[in-house]
Structure 1
């Protein structure tokens, strides 16, 4: 059981199972044409099985270091993210939604960083609530507030990341309504690589389950944007599956449920006040 003095970010991120929500976050991020262009031209995750696994492992390691690691580990993880972002820049080759061809993109763009952060936080909370327990409105707001500490680690001025669940929802709704988000053929191609990553034949059952679980975790609007089929029967099966996962997960020992760094941090010193950390999938 987590210590009451733990931050809400540490409590949520400690659960290994919340990484299953990252598919939801990535599909929401790819719906932004500038994010999709950056991923298509500067990421190798869709190349083969090992590239996908290396990228996933690097992202998990960064999250663990930023959330639970000592300051030097968090600084090193943040530095790696900043170096990676520095390489991700270019121009749209074709018009996408309201963005004309030639529009510049950069992973250092505050608006794009805020979109990636927003969708990541939203997906982490959604996954925790589906697999572990429902958070109170106050806990949701605290998670958003604490997660905004990424401004410090990425060297950004205070105030550009959302600090409440209401701001998260408002930002996503505004992006949907103002034409920012559009699912293009490129986006669908990248999404296919997320839902069905390259894999050897013996991993096919796991990949099919990952695809089905990720589609089930998507909000209705995102599922519709990608034209992903989801029936009422799928919904019933999905809810039964979630119920089974929650029941099993709640009975597993901490050594299985939580990251090693989380267990070490739980028994050791907590980060200084105001220095709570949260990782961001790249």
Structure 2
């Protein structure tokens, strides 16, 4: 059995966990200020054909932060900071509790916390769905390790949830706060995310991505997005999930793990996720 210095490395090493990222992005779009920032400033919104480029960039950043080397992590943090520098504006129309003209910024700690929480929650959900169940202490450990992103994002210590309980409490507060509202911008972005223009050979993978993204969403958000989700879709997700989880231990490493994880898992210090980034922005 492979051992890893950090639980975050064990979890993030698995390629299959990417099936949870669509859920995370849909949760992010459900915050009107995040949706506005993506719609107005992202190349993805302007050209759905860039979905693969966006996904590749996100995966590369995740691997850089988790497996390094340090220079790669610093470069990834610098790229994220430069993108965030360009993302600020105001809502063009009212959505939920937000009036037209409400300002937004990708450097807003509250928006960064929401994006981070959706990624952590969805990653753990996908890992447990497709790889193996985690003990409560392991969920806490992953959240605590992921909190090291505060330094990379320039956030104050304690901004991000440091345990599974804190994460779930935060998500529950957000759910009841009225801030999470699926507007028309979110629905348009969701269509571009789930039905991108892709080569024929990638369409089966896109169908699996779409099934997981919609199926793993909370039911109330699935309804808010107006997704068509039938009993046969739920059955298909259950069957595919069980099949992947049952066969995953026999997948060859080249298929199961990201290359950076296979190459670097023995070389990382335990403090790997908490190198500061402020001086490199």
**What is the CA distance between 1:68 and its match in structure 2?**
0.1
What corresponds to 1:228 in structure 2?
227
- State TM-score, norm by structure 1: 0.92
Whole-angstrom distance in 1 between the partners of 2:25 and 2:222: 13
Gaps of 5+ in 2: 276-281
Q: Secondary structure at the match of 1:156?
A: coil
What corresponds to 1:2 in structure 2?
2
What corresponds to 1:102 in structure 2?
101
What corresponds to 2:70 in structure 1?
71
What corresponds to 1:25 in structure 2?
24
Q: Counterparts of 1:130-169 in structure 2 under 5 Å? A: 130-169=129-168
Are 1:251 and 2:250 an aligned pair?
yes
Partners of 2:67 and 2:265 within 8 A in 1: no
Whole-angstrom distance in 2 between the partners of 1:47 and 1:199: 15
Relative to 1, partners in 2 of residues 1:135 and 1:197: Cα closer, same or farther, differing over 3 Å?
A: same
Q: How many residues align?
A: 275
Q: Counterparts of 1:124-203 in structure 2 under 5 Å? A: 124-201=123-200, 203=202
1:170-209 residue CA offsets vs partner (Å, 9 max, x unmatched) = 1111111111011111110001111111224554444333
Gaps of 5+ in 1: none
Deviates most, 233-242 or 187-196: 233-242
What corresponds to 1:242 in structure 2?
241
Partners of 2:140 and 2:163 within 8 A in 1: yes
> Aligned-residue CA RMSD in angstroms?
1.7
1:222-254 residue CA offsets vs partner (Å, 9 max, x unmatched) = 212212232333222221111111122221122
Q: Runs of 4+ in structure 1 displaced over 6 angstroms?
A: none
- State TM-score, norm by structure 2: 0.92
Whole-angstrom distance in 1 between the partners of 2:66 and 2:203: 32
